[in-house]
Structure 1
């Protein structure tokens, strides 16, 4: 039976409550100041791969959209990440974080050292958006419903525990506190408007679960490679690689 709009929104929010990656042990370590400098660097390197593919994912989405109103609303997401003449964009802000933790931004931008599981998870998300119905592609983006909470926790935790943390290095997260609610307000309304049968609601919920799996899998890979059992797979970043020359930060 088709759920009411209110019931379906509650179902989507419950997915986040149970499955969003703010519950992952790696984030508890990171936000609690328990990560070593190299564990923080590994997180920055691997998360960059995800950040860099978001505008590619959104461009693939736009290429399939025939409705100009939807295209117009969605394209700001690319500008938020890639930047404009007046907005440096999230990717540049993330590379500033990379520099703050002692990494060479060019090394990070090259995507060298990204864990194989990170590549598989992120690339799977891009393919999902390229291939699935638009409703499922939009629904997968609704992890943004839960993002402001984790960004606020991250800002507080990093400022409290790490010397590199300041307004400049954490500007990516501060900007997302205002960007994500704008995006999710549109995306949530669009999903609620278009998931008008039980089958579509099930598909949209499954898409959101898939996206939470993508985010969780990336942290599983980080935890296994750099925390426990600390077994770095072939191709993964090795501590000491890609660092800034001394005094260049």
Structure 2
């Protein structure tokens, strides 16, 4: 990994002491309603689908409208969670709730994981990488409180063919079509894995003209710093012609 010197850290609050955060303070990143495309704001807080814990909606109405097209992938994801619980219970594994915890981890660290994937695939330099590569984040299960259940074991850039589940692949393609229709470059795929349990996080990426995040080669170190510290307040730095801003 490069040891390039940076004049400022990758996050505005990188050097502040870890602290606990209430749900209302948690940094969730910029999310898009899977039905209407509305962007999340501090006023409009999104809700996750209770079945798959993956799709997100700006309102209950949007969730109801989206259900007919979401039903198949939702039930498929929920069945995988239940299968993981049964497997853990039958094998005497330490925690049968691992799949549920992994989905909560992904939701909590949406901004951080999306930023790490963006940096790992070098999308600011080579936007086309979004179509052929994905970031694989392997976790170690630690137990403990909700923000310290996992630590980063390793990270790898892998081919998109690493994902073999047809329904998951179709869901990613659906998001890519929507993203490109709206002028984006495609869907960044981040795979979060702990043992035999995994979660796929698709992130729709804005066009290059709207991408302001600074390019960083120390992304893996930053990812480990926030996850291993139990921090949920990641705020990336962006340098623009109008100055530097955070978030």
TM-score, length-normalised on structure 1?
Answer: 0.30
TM-score, length-normalised on structure 2?
Answer: 0.30
Q: Which has the higher helix share?
A: 1
Q: Which has the higher strand share?
A: 2
